[in-house]
Amino acid sequence: MTFSPDAAGPASAARALESADVVVVGAGPAGSAAAAHLRAAGLDVIVLERADAGAVRTGTAALTPQAVGELRALGIDDAGTQRWHRTTGVRFVGGGMRLAVAWPDVAGRPGHGLTCAQAVLDDTLSSYAVASGARVHRATEVTGFQTDARGRVNGVAAQPVDGSGQPTGAGFTVGARVVIDASGVAATGQPSGLAVSVDFASPRHLDDHVETWLSLTSADGTRLPGHGWIVGRGDGHVTAGVGALAADTSATPDQCAGVLQQWLTALPAGWQLTETTTTGPVRAARLGTARAHRDGARDGVLHVGDAAGAAHPVTGEGLTAALVSARVAAATVVEALTRTGESEIATTLAAYGARLDDALGRHERWDRLAARLLDRPSVARLVTTYALPREALMKRVLRHATPSPGAPVETSLTPPTMVSVTRAAAHPGTERGVDQR
Ligand SMILES: Cc1cc2nc3c(=O)[nH]c(=O)nc-3n(C[C@H](O)[C@H](O)[C@H](O)COP(=O)(O)OP(=O)(O)OC[C@H]3O[C@@H](n4cnc5c(N)ncnc54)[C@H](O)[C@@H]3O)c2cc1C
């Protein structure tokens, strides 16, 4: 749902249940991480999550080294657990070419990425928030914000719901000095990209690369729109997915699922990505790529993760941004609540949007253009023909897609990178290190 500050309003007669320093809406990766950071700083936190405890998301979460670093900053280490699978880089595939590129070597960042079942990541972060002392209420849907007489948000209205979202009891309010909206992509109220994925039991589960398909074709050689990915998670399962990245995409979940099916039938039979090896339903969801809340904080509400539209506009990858934004939002709230006057608190909270942009290291205008272009099969063909054979260029693309905090703002298709692609197009030929199997 899209919240508006006056959805509940100042005159709500609902019963006030509890109050806390901070209320977090949503216990996805961003909400749970924000709650854990806030608890580590000693703040009192309530998390309200619509889904009940039995709700389990399918699919695989692929984490970049930057995201792994964010988990470690929280105190979550992947060492010694069977539930995480390490990745060493990304394999770009398209136009008959394959190019494996190691994760960029960035000082202070782990050298590996991770994959795991989405449910494992959700559970790890949520359990961590609970263990940190956050009060997490599940099966509780936030229906609007509470405001004070000046229109500033000072809590939320909520109601208990069952697994299908139907109310099961009376509504109530929860008061807070600050509200963090981590309720996912719907909170942006903006159009955004779309992805579908499905899980398989496959011998490819031990692959230590995230495989990104820059162009897709069907079994009869027809070019398909969108890009694809295949990710193993070391537990016998592989997830394959297709995304339409442009925020203004007209693609529907059914169309994306159709592209996924056509693409999968063209893949080698030995990978066993077929109807008979699927282990779950097709998951279709919007991508949090519509960076709508550029101001970050409005009326005392900070948006994190997909609710901030912070997912990478070119890759659709949103977990790094979820964890980064959670950390930045929590630090901003902690700083704000040390201030005394209302206006000082509001001024500190208002700095969150700029801090988030700095931390994500993005150049949004170019990223959006790149996403729109890459959704077109003709452009994808150009990229796979002229950019993919150039290892140095693709390394650069990967580095731009996983920027360092505080690094100069660059992105996948900045003017310098576009010049590189153009130069490469003018001098066709295969560079060293390209695997053309
Ligand atoms: C098919 C698919 C595959 C993906 N794969 C990857 C990947 O491999 N790597 C990657 O980095 N990114 C991936 N992404 C993107 C990634 O999943 C998201 O960016 C990430 O989950 C964002 O986390 P979040 O916590 O902001 O939002 P969410 O994960 O959407 O969590 C929001 C939470 O808020 C709850 N909620 C919503 N409304 C309310 C309400 N009114 N009241 C209370 N609770 C509410 C929801 O139930 C949910 O638990 C994928 C996306 C899709 C669609």
161: pLDDT strictly greater than 70: yes
Mean pLDDT of 361-376: 59
DSSP state of 389: T
- Of the ranges 25-29, 184-188, 229-233, 388-392, which one carries the lowest mean pLDDT score? 388-392
Separation CA 410–CA 407 (nearest Å):
8
| pLDDT band per the 50, 70, 90 thresholds, residue 55 | confident
Q: Is 146 strand, coil or helix?
A: strand
Helices (H) and strands (E) in the chain, counts: 11, 20
What single-letter amino acid sits at 299?
A: D
What's the gap in Å between 136 CA and the centre of ligand 1? 17
Distance 32 CA to ligand 1 centre (A): 11
CA pair distance 60, 81, nearest whole angstrom: 16
Q: What are phi and psi of 205, to 5 degrees?
A: -65, -20
Q: Residue 394 carries which side chain, given as an amino acid letter?
A: M
Instruction: Specify the pLDDT at position 409.
Output: 28
Question: Which of 428, 426, 389 lies closest to 94, judged by CA?
Answer: 389
Ligand 1 atom closest to the Cα of residue 286 is: 53
DSSP H helices, 266-336, are 319-336
Q: Residue 169 CB: number of other CB atoms within 10 A?
A: 11
Cβ atoms < 10 Å from Cβ of 381: 16
Give the pLDDT of residue 1: 43
CA of 306 to the centre of ligand 1 (A): 7
Residue 4 CB coordination number (10 Å): 12
List the one residue out of 321, 308, 346, 335 whose CA is nearest residue 38: 335
CA 226 to CA 216: how far, in whole Å?
Answer: 7
Q: Which residues contact 348 (CB under 8 A, 6 or more apart)?
A: 332, 335, 336, 339
ipTM of the complex: 0.99
Q: Specify whether the CB–CB gap between 174 and 20 falls below 8 A.
A: yes
Reading the block at residue 268, the tokens are 């080698």
Task: Evaluate if residue 298 carries a pLDDT over 80.
Answer: no
Kindly report the number of other CB atoms within 10 A of residue 72's CB atom: 14
Coil, strand, or helix at residue 322?
helix
User: Does the beta carbon of 305 lie inside 6 Å of ligand 1?
Assistant: yes
CA of 183 to the centre of ligand 1 (A): 8
Mean of the per-residue pLDDT values of the chain: 82
Can you tell me the distance from the alpha carbon of 299 to that of 187, in angstroms, rounded to the nearest whole number? 15
Task: Show me where the domains of the chain are located.
Answer: 15-57+119-189+289-360
Q: Is 134 in the pocket of ligand 1 (CB under 6 A)?
A: no
Position in ligand 1 atom list of the atom nearest CA 304: 26
The C-alpha torsion from 384 through 390 and 394 to 395, rounded to 10°, is 160
Rounded to an integer, the average pLDDT of 173-197 is 90
Is 197's C-beta closer than 6 angstroms to any atom of ligand 1?
A: yes
Testing ligand 1's pocket by substitution, the residue of 306, 314, 323, 325 carrying the most ligand atoms inside 8 A of its CB is 306
Q: Which CATH architecture group holds 15-57+119-189+289-360?
A: 3-Layer(bba) Sandwich (3.50)
- Whether 309 is in the pocket of ligand 1, judged by its Cβ within 6 Å, is no
> Which atom of ligand 1 approaches the CA of 197 most closely?
1
Model pLDDT, residue 292: 55
Q: Check pocket membership of 1 for ligand 1, CB cut-off 6 A.
A: yes
How far does the centroid of ligand 1 lie from the alpha carbon of residue 41, in Å? 25
Pocket lining: 113 vs ligand 1, CB cutoff 6 Å:
no
Segment of 5-14, 103-112, 407-416 carrying the highest mean pLDDT: 103-112
Instruction: Give the model's confidence band at 405: pLDDT under 50 very low, under 70 low, under 90 confident, else very high.
Output: very low
List the one residue out of 144, 178, 147 whose CA is nearest residue 158: 144
Terminal-to-terminal C-alpha distance of the chain: 47
pLDDT band at 389 (very low <50, low <70, confident <90, very high): low
Decide whether any atom of ligand 1 lies within 6 Å of the 184 Cβ. Answer: yes
**Residue 338 class from Cβ within 10 Å (0-12 exposed, 13-18 middle, 19+ buried)?**
exposed
CA distances (Å), origin 118, targets 115, 235, 297, 402: 9, 13, 28, 20
Task: Give the other-Cβ count within 10 Å of 269's Cβ.
Answer: 8
Over the stretch 211-263, which tens digit does the pLDDT of each residue have? 999 889 999 999 898 889 999 999 999 999 998 877 667 888 999 999 999 99
What average pLDDT does the segment 54-75 reach?
92
Q: What is the DSSP letter of 421?
A: H
Strands 216-217 and 223-224: antiparallel
Q: Determine the pLDDT at residue 423.
A: 40
Please state whether beta strands 209-213 and 89-94 pair in parallel, antiparallel, or not at all (unpaired). Answer: parallel
Residue type, 21: D
More confident residue, 97 or 85: 85
Q: How far is the CA of 145 from the centre of ligand 1 (A)?
A: 21
Q: Does the pLDDT of residue 57 top 50, yes or no?
A: yes
- Residue 87's DSSP bridge partners are 113
